[in-house]
Structure 1
Amino acid sequence: MRVVVADDSALFRRLITTVLASLPEVEVVGQAANGKQALQRVHELTPDLLTLDMEMPELNGLEVLDALQKSGENVAVLIISAFTHQGGRLTIQALQKGAFDFITKPDLSGLEQIREALRAELAPRLKAQSLRFKVRNILRNSTAAAPIHPAASPVHPAAPPIHAASPTWMTSLEGINTRMNRLAGTIKPEMVLIGVSTGGPNALAGLLPALPGDLGVPVLIVQHMPPLFTQSLAENLTAKCALQVCEAAHGENLEPNTVYIAPGGRQMRLAPGDGGRKMIQITDDPPENNCRPSVDYLFRSVANQFSGRAMAVILTGMGSDGMLGLRLLKRHGCFVIAQDEPSCVVYGMPKAAVDAGVVDMVLPLEAIAGPIVAAIQGRMA
């Protein structure tokens, strides 16, 4: 993979270049100290990937992304963001302009510590992006697409998962309701749970606006993000959605028609509240799957406290966070939807769930809202 590194800090250009050069199948072909240079390097060197600092002279990161879109340059962009509220706001905008992921600049003093922190963040993202390039090239060079294999058998073997990666997902409303009643019981979901990581901001910006403002139940989301970033994500999404979107707060009771996003760097779980209500708890419990917030942490709390009364969705992301929690939810009758591979930025978390046999439907992103609304309201979105 050919990479251009763009950062106005000579120190960070050198550190990022050193880390990238140590990774297998990665070649740093150029550097840029400002936005204009970044565009020139991309045009001249045609890299596969651009690492892009958000706050640079000449042109900032957002302006570079706009220019890349206008010029049609075929380059993936990884954002390198400052660990600030402003950095979070700019990063969310950048992700919605086409950047595939981001990392934050380590707030550390020692150079070796900074290098190791950068390596821990960059290595899995470069590996995932390299795999995407290889798959894309294979598909591009193939004369015919390979057949789509069905998802693994779910916990309920009498009802194999629906795998619909084409417009044929528009199953009749009656068929969807019959299937959900058979799998999840006759109780309609009282909440929707969503787990997502790499590619999440764009996936959520595609899914949540498709849900009606009168959905009738709360939606709880774990998006892998650091502190200071989830508040910006919530503000960005609430401007696009009929539902109210907020960063979750400790001790608040769940309200219908509200989306709660787990705060970055904290864990979120559900607990019984007063009068039979459901209450959010925000904790500093340790990371799970190297993630805080963790999808498994939230899903497990719901499985333990509110069995059979949730619908779960697992979206694009690296790793397998959410799979163990989904296994518990399935044991209690939860209905599970996974995003399909073609519409994922990284087909990691959904694949882990599908391979574990805990998924009932595998759908493209644009098709997921319909079954959610059908299960809750008895009508398609």
Structure 2
Amino acid sequence: MSTSAAGGPTRAVVVDDSRFMRTLIRTLLEDADVEVVADASNGKEAISVVDEHRPDVVTMDIEMPEMNGLDAVEGIMDECPTPVLMLSAHAEEDADVTFEALDRGAVDFVTKPGGEVTSEMPRVKRELVEKIQSAAAVDLSATQRRTRPPKAESEPQTTPESSASATTSTALPQEGSTLVVGASTGGPNVVERVLAGLPADAGLRVLVVQHMPKGFTKRFAARLDGRCDYDVREAEDGERIGPGQIRVAPGGSHLLVTADRAGRLKLELSDDDPLHGVKPAIDLTMASAAEVVDAPLAGVLLTGMGRDGVEGMTRISRAGGHTVAQDEETSAIFGMPKRAIEAGCVDVIAPDGRITEETLRGITT
């Protein structure tokens, strides 16, 4: 059963211009004990309905008459801030619009059923319910705090071991240093901010695992490529990753790190079953990197629900790597970072605006 923060059933508003889709989504949610308190057929109506019913979460279509989903998200965030889950089509051209919705305040997205609706139902229901639960748990005040410069008093928390070994942030990482970043709900904008802060002359090899469906990670990589100083692309099976390159795990595949005969890092894509219900899984990428990387290694775990990344951060820590987790104040969902911290495998806990600095500090010479 899906429950709200107040302890009752999760309360949702469904927004879509298609009567069929509204009915379908309502049926799927109510079957999972999510209470659909109202629906709306366009963005303008959605703002009014959300203001009236004050739900825990909103599912929002993108293309609608009178007012589209993007403007509706903005209106909701201005008038009655509520977690919004976007419903996006599979088409690649819709990915950019979906990311714009995230920029405007939406917390996550799920893909609509495509082709034969009946055959898609098990996937759609599973993903929709999981995403609804995650979205309803989002701390919107944390996402709003991320838009402001980090406060001077918001110092990173360190363990005695990490504080004793801290170096200045102006030093450059050792040659061959590798960084693995993992994120889930609320993560795309934080990942962007962390990567944008990496100086080009640091020459890191960076792997990003963001829980995201197939078809969206390629556009996510292109988006990151335009906003940081590194070469960013979606990872390809068998390719080698070198200094100054960032590779994003493709949606629908696990990303593993191996080493070739010359000791260079090689990437492999795996079609194994989902781990923790996700594919790609942060744990698998981090654990494989911890096994083969013999240069300085760092792991960063950002906002998200669940425990993916905990085992991976543990492996990196045991291998002598540096680990950084996002703090509770700036995490949309303090789930994965909290569990990693509780597992004792995190060296530094930092607000999103300090994560890049603290990561570099841990792998500098």
1:101 corresponds to which of 108, 111, 131: 108
Instruction: Give 3-state SS (helix, strand or coil) of 2:47's partner.
Output: helix
Find the counterpart in structure 2 of residue 48 from structure 1: 56
Size of the aligned set, in residue pairs, is 340
Change (3 A) 1:315 1:170: closer
What is aligned with 2:25? 16
Structure 1 residue 255: deviation in Å? 1.8
Q: Does 1:77 align with 2:64?
A: no
- Unaligned runs of at least 5 residues, structure 2: 1-9, 142-150
- Say whether 1:339 aligns with 2:346: no
Distance 1:315 1:188 in 2: 25
In structure 2, how many angstroms separate the alpha carbons of the residues matched to 1:75 and 1:67? 10
The unaligned stretches of length 5 or more in structure 1 are: 137-163
State the 1:4 CA deviation: 1.6
2:178 and 2:128 map into 1 onto residues whose CA distance is 35
CA contact (8 A) 2:323 2:345 kept: yes
- Which letter maps to 1:16? I
1:273 aligns with 2:260: yes
Q: What is the Cα deviation at residue 219 of structure 1?
A: 0.9
Residue type of the partner of 1:81? S
Query: Which whole-Å deviations, capped at 9, do the CAs of 1:84-120 have from their partners, x for residues lacking one?
Result: 2022222122112211111111336354x65543432
1:333-375 deviation line (CA, Å, top 9, x unaligned): 1111111122111122112211211111111111111122223
Q: What displacement does 1:189 show?
A: 6.8
SS across alignment from 1:259: strand
Counterpart Cα distance in 1 of 2:253 and 2:122: 23
- How far 1:44 sits from its partner (Å)? 3.9
Residue 344 and residue 165 in structure 1: after superposition, are their counterparts in 2 closer, same or farther (change >3 A)? farther
Check 1:165–1:108 CA distance in 2 against 1; reply closer, same or farther (3 A cut): farther
Q: What's the % identity of the aligned pairs?
A: 36
- CA–CA distance in structure 2, aligned partners of residues 100 and 262 of structure 1: 20
* TM-score, with structure 1 as normaliser: 0.80
2: CA distance, partners of 1:242 / 1:218: 13
Structure 2 residue 237 is matched with structure 1 residue 250: yes
User: Contact 1:52–1:61 (CA<8 Å) still a contact in 2?
Assistant: yes
Counterpart-to-counterpart distance in 1, 2:15 and 2:278:
28
**In 2, Cα distance between the equivalents of 1:316 and 1:328?**
19
1:283 aligns with 2:270: yes
CA RMSD of aligned residues (A): 2.8
CA distance in 1, matches of 2:63, 2:297: 41
Match of 2:214 in 1: 227
Q: Distance in 2 between matches of 1:38 and 1:243?
A: 40
Q: Does 1:311 align with 2:298?
A: yes
Work out the CA distance in 2 between the residues paired with 1:85 and 1:202: 19
276-285 vs 122-131, which moves further: 122-131
Deviates more, 1:278-287 or 1:186-195: 186-195
How far apart are 1:176 and its partner, in Å?
5.1
